[in-house]
Structure 1
Amino acid sequence: MSNEIKSKVRSQFGASADAYATSHVHAKGESLALLSALITPQPTWQVLDVGSGAGHTAFLFSPHVRRVVVLDMTEKMVAKAVTLAATRGLRNIFATVADAEHLPFDNASFDLVTCRLAYHHFPTPDKALTEFARVLKPHGVLGFTDNITVPDEGEATYYNTFEQLRDPSHNWVYSLTLLLTNIEQAGFQVGATRKFRKEFEFQEWADRQHVSDDDKEKLLKMMKHVPARLKQLMAPRWADGTLYFQLQEMVLVATKR
């Protein structure tokens, strides 16, 4: 990753480690249930959770496999994951501070690689996908989730500008078509794919990344003028003086070719 992006990721998520440990969308989001339904872990498996954050995906698989490595480039996030694992009595969790584009593991080291809601922070995501394939064993499994946006390039740029204003470590969210193409070109055969919507309360969403009042006003203005197709995806609505909006997330399981 570029040094600038690395610095932004560490700054943003280091300051927000506690919030992400308890955030509903991260700790109990629908994508966790879908990963659990779509992947059948084996007792002998070695698992790598990339961009693990507070470790929620790692905790999902830990009771069912031999070992799970939690990997994140933010030390405070890794420390939070280790602490939470200990409180849950999970003894097969191991932690590594590293970035997704330079995984510190030998080829064919893992049976399963997971990456949940982290891909949009990678400045060179194609390199990360290549690394996922490299460290997976032949026919190893990739469990992947991330937000997706509309196919229109201009509206996708509007959406990503919106996200970057809230979180400077945000790089890019892709349309489903582009995302599937990227994954397949990295050497994977995509299997099951699911999409779903998730709703956010604006104030909580902004406060999780410590957004200033001035930037909140800019975000609200952008939401007011959101382009038509993107508006259908985000579905902004006001209720009792509170703004709610939606994002779309996809979950897929792929196999290394």
Structure 2
Amino acid sequence: MEKTLHTFLKSGLIEKYVLGDTSPSEELEVEYFIERHDEARLEYENTQKNLEIWAKANAVEAPTSILDNILGEISEKTEKQTPVIHLKERNSHTPWYSIAASIVALVFAGSSYLLYQQNQSLNHENDVVVDEIFDLRSDIDKNNEKLDDVMKQFMKLNNPDTKKYVLKGNERAKNLKTVAYINPVEKTSMIDVATLPQLPNEKCYQIWAEVQDRMVNLGILDPSESNLQNIPYLEDALGLSITIEDKGGANTATADNSVAEISLQNK
């Protein structure tokens, strides 16, 4: 049964269950393990918490309502009054049928012009709607791509082989807190920037990996990035360190600049 439970935890069914992407038979299987195994129940609760973190970190602001724009434009056009043509009275004795013919001609000309204007307006509105539909489809495609990326990172985050390391700041950066996720099986490394104290514009945060007797540069941390940032994976890394360097980063790390460090040999 332990082997079956391990296989179940690595199957990814719990992540699919939380996201509502399981079949009825898969739902029964997930609920069976959650009810009978504490490990499965704990994994389910952690997955829910991680999903909430990702939802907040990757929230996308909704686009401006297309319908409101179209209704506003139509309302503005309907408020404009059609100009009225006033005919001056004449004292000449023009036959009544000539007057009637003139009136009909004027009415016909006015109606034709009005219809032409309305047709032009509708064509313009139609072009606007088509453009906005294409823009909306493009936004949907981009959001789907972002959702796929989030799903992939979410699966990595909840992989049983992924180890979690919390880096807390020292006296120089008391509020600093980052979380590193390292998977030695898939050979991936990610870091979640939870809290990075504000630095002067000429300074930056840089992350390093300790490999035997030297420090290897893993890149500069961006405080504005609230989601996971990928960092290079090093097979023989003994620890991680974060330093404060001049803008652009440094080629070598010094102990005096270190604000957070952790050993990778304690898990």
Relative to total residues, which structure has the larger strand share, 1 or 2? 1
The structure showing larger relative contact order (alpha-carbon pairs under 8 Å, at least 6 residues apart) is: 1
Larger Rg: 2
Bin of the TM-score, shorter chain as denominator length = under 0.3
So what's the TM-score if we normalise by structure 2? 0.20
So what's the TM-score if we normalise by structure 1? 0.20
